[in-house]
């Protein structure tokens, strides 16, 4: 990045932070949490917690109607750039995901930056996965039929956990479902595609995220593509979703590596659109599509 742009981005990032991170978090929660009034009926919603290095973290279990007594589960991580959002902002999404998949969904919170510097988020995600395996019998979860899922930064965590789990035990995660994944935080790549893919807003967001992560480096998901990557179902916006080009690159890398992959694109939808099931039919459709695909794979192995 050249010097003038560096100063401009630094100024924008500092200005955003001065606005007040807590205020931003409250605003996001107000905008999307508990807004969906047409949620499907579930058999159970249960609040729990799991032990992580950064402290006890909230986790919420969603059990759909007619779920198996012991059945598959999807471990879900919320997005928000590792900085905002929580299991409340993603509650409607997870309720709809459990209903569409027909299997349990376990939504795990994690420590947010900058209070919890990166890679604390990855460490928490690992802890959540280990906790789910340890508590499987009590939760009614079949540990041989697990999926990971998430949106944006949560998708990054879901893919990272899936790759690590499958590296240790092949097939530990059967499939991953990723809404507009944050594939990398490399500013140079964002700079190269700034004009071609209209990614100015996205680059500003990446600059802010990197500022909160301090000096930590977030490895690219592209570097982890290989035999340990599970079959993948991707959802993305198009021109209004700044990570769409990276989702396409990730899908191509998976295909080249021989990993089964499907990419469903929603033209006209912006990054974060699946959190707006209360106003966007496309969001309802996207959550249902991903849920149905994961559920079928976990039940039928297809």
Active site residues per annotation = 152, 241, 271
Q: What's the confidence (pLDDT) of residue 219?
A: 83
Transcribe 288-302 into DSSP letters: HHHHHHHHHHHHH--
Q: What's the confidence (pLDDT) of residue 239?
A: 79
Q: What's the confidence (pLDDT) of residue 18?
A: 47
- Burial bucket for residue 33 (CB in 10 Å: 0-12, 13-18, 19+): middle
CB within 8 Å of 142: residues ≥ 6 apart: 68, 70, 71, 72, 73, 136
Q: What's the confidence (pLDDT) of residue 207?
A: 58
Q: Residue 296 CB: number of other CB atoms within 10 A?
A: 15
Domains of the chain in sequence order: 3-300 (3.40.50.1820)
Measure the CA angle with vertex 52, ends 141 and 56; round to 5°: 90
pTM reported for the whole predicted model: 0.88
Q: What's the confidence (pLDDT) of residue 14?
A: 47
Q: What's the confidence (pLDDT) of residue 13?
A: 47
Helices (H), the chain: 3-19, 21-32, 91-101, 120-134, 136-139, 153-168, 187-192, 200-212, 244-256, 281-300
Q: What's the confidence (pLDDT) of residue 83?
A: 87
Give the tens place of pLDDT for each residue, 176-199: 999 999 886 665 654 555 445 455
Q: What's the confidence (pLDDT) of residue 213?
A: 66
Residues of the chain with pLDDT under 70: 1-19, 184-217, 302
| Cα 165 to chain centroid, rounded | 17
């Amino acid at each position: 990045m050249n010097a003038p742009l560096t100063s401009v981005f630094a100024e924008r990032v500092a200005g955003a932070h001065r606005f007040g991170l807590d205020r931003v978090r409250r605003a996001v929660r107000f905008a999307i949490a508990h807004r969906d009034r047409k949620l499907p009926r579930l058999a159970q919603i249960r609040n729990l917690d799991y032990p992580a290095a950064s402290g006890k973290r909230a986790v919420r279990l969603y059990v759909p109607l007619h779920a198996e007594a012991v059945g598959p589960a999807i471990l879900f991580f919320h997005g928000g750039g590792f900085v905002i959002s929580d299991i409340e902002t993603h509650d409607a999404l997870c309720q709809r995901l459990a209903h569409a998949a027909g299997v349990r969904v376990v939504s795990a919170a994690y420590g947010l930056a900058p209070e919890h510097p990166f890679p604390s988020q990855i460490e928490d995600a690992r802890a959540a996965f280990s906790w789910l395996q340890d508590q499987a019998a009590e939760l009614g979860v079949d540990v041989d039929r697990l999926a990971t899922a998430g949106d944006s930064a949560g998708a990054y965590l879901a893919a990272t956990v899936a790759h690590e789990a499958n590296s240790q035990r092949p097939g530990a995660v059967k499939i991953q479902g990723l809404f507009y994944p944050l594939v990398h935080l490399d500013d140079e790549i964002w700079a190269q595609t700034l004009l071609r893919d209209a990614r100015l807003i996205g680059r500003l967001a990446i600059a802010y995220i990197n500022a909160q992560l301090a000096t930590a480096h977030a490895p690219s998901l592209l570097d982890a593509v290989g035999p340990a990557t599970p079959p993948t179902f991707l959802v993305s916006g198009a021109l209004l979703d700044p990570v769409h080009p990276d989702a396409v690159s990730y899908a191509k890398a998976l295909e080249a590596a021989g990993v089964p992959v499907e990419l469903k694109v929603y033209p006209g939808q912006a990054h974060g659109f699946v959190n707006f099931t209360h106003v966007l039919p496309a969001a309802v459709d996207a959550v249902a599509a991903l849920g149905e695909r994961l559920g079928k794979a976990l039940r039928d192995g297809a």
